[in-house]
Amino acid sequence: MAETSATTETGEPASRPRKSSWKYIGPGIVVAATGVGAGDLVATLIAGSKFGYTLMWAAVIGCVVKISLAEAAGRWHLATGRTLFDGWRSLGPWTTVYFAIYVVVWGFIYGATAMSSSALPIVALFPDGPGLKFWAIVTGLIGLVFVWFNRYAVFEKVMTVLIGIMFVVVVYVAIRVVPDVGASFAGLLPVLPDGSLLYTLGLIGGVGGTITMAAYGYWVNAKGWSNSSWMKVMRLDNRVAYITTGLFVVAMLIVGAELLHASQIALTSGDRGLIDLGKVLEDRFGAGTAKLFLVGFFATSFSSLIGVWHGVSLMFADFVERFRAPAAGGEEKAGPAVAERQQRSLPFRAYLLWLTFPPMTLLWLDEPFGLVIAYGVLGAFFMPFLALTLIWLLNSSRTPGEWRNGWLSNGMLALSGLLFVVLCVQQVRDLPW
């Protein structure tokens, strides 16, 4: 695409806007595959098992909220030529302190969680083989080696394969249980049955709503999208990501409603609930369907593992680089060259090692009480932090006028910020103080 002689407000040469095209899709697939973990699917299943199709509308609203948040993160990167951490840093030192504590504590606990989640379906598929700890360590090491030696292009291709497996398996299981189409459409009418408020908030805010939403802008840059000429492409890519996520949620709600609700079958909370579902599927449809489901379970968990290993390590590398740099404004502009360098950097690899080896100790120990509290509090505060800081950044002079928030963006970000504050308060209240 030929460049014009004009320049953008970031000082880069301005390109004519790229037409939004399916051939460019990539970072959205990565964020969708990373953001939907096994625990999210269990939470959706439990909502379906308790309330049937009644909360289908909440899944749709959740999809729209996530589209708004990720679009805002991607728009910041493309419109300003600055990374999200660079933007946070411009809001004051409190953001640096928060992120530094969060990324260290969160990574330590999440590493063990991701490895265990990836190991569970392997143990179920091969019950006579090695145990959970062995497979957890193996999956962690495979994730480490894969991300260490591969750049974004290969990473994206593998994530596309994994989300393809997830999609086929989840939709296949939803079709096998024979969804009630009439009840599905009736569930699009907003209704709150007694005792459903927390499940509703969880459906809207939970699935696909993690730090990986903040990583989306970094993957956009790593893909090679570096200025506002890619804005239409990014928006299509983002919509594909969260419509895909919405289809996962709807499919799992159908499974919960049809397979579990009528029979009043209870699942274990957390990742192990998918093992319970595998046994239910085996009883109902045979061993072949159960094994296929476990393959999909593994794809779901392992895609989240390598997605975090790559995306959050990239954010950490940027955090260290920007922290060392002079005051905001003099750094190199964000883009593919910066992302490529950061993927080879010492901080990137150091955080990869932090995600992999220290968490292995938690596979033998119960998670320390204080660490669980810190992880819960920091994790609960992250999504409100993301939503509210994006409102701040995208309504200020830090963003070129053309790309600042309109009334719709402000409304959606404010709605998501309020939602995540409510979820944050509830999560903190539910911690084992």
How confident is the model over 227-245, as pLDDT tens digits?
A: 999 999 999 999 888 888 8
**Confidence band for 430, pLDDT divided at 50, 70 and 90:** confident
Residue in this structure with the two tokens 């209704």, named with its chain if needed: 191
DSSP three-state, residue 344: coil
**Choice between 66 and 263, residue whose per-residue pLDDT is larger:** 66
Whole-number pLDDT of residue 5: 34
The per-residue pLDDT for range 142-163, each reduced to its tens digit, is 999 999 999 999 999 999 999 9
First to last CA, the chain: 57
Helix axes 38-51, 197-205, angle to 10 degrees: 140
Residue 375 has pLDDT above 70, yes or no: no
Mean pLDDT of the chain: 84
**Choice between 12 and 425, residue whose per-residue pLDDT is larger:** 425
DSSP string over 78-109 = HHHS--HHHHHHHT-HHHHHHHHHHHHHHHHH
- Please give the structure tokens belonging to residue 82: 């600055």
Residue 389 has pLDDT above 90, yes or no: yes
**CA distance linking residue 320 with residue 317, whole number of Å:** 5
Tell me the range of 43-47, 280-284, 348-352 where mean pLDDT is highest. 348-352
CA distances from 67 to 61, 226, 236, 287 (A): 10, 20, 10, 37
**Confidence band for 122, pLDDT divided at 50, 70 and 90:** very high
**Choice between 353 and 132, residue whose per-residue pLDDT is larger:** 353
Whole-number pLDDT of residue 2: 34
Give the range among 88-97, 242-251, 279-288, 423-432 with minimum mean pLDDT. Answer: 423-432
**Confidence band for 182, pLDDT divided at 50, 70 and 90:** confident
From the number of C-beta atoms within 10 Å of its C-beta (0-12, 13-18, 19+), residue 365 rates as exposed
Query: What does the pLDDT average to over 314-331?
Result: 76
Residue 311 has pLDDT above 90, yes or no: yes
Whole-number pLDDT of residue 76: 96
- Please give the structure tokens belonging to residue 110: 């999440």
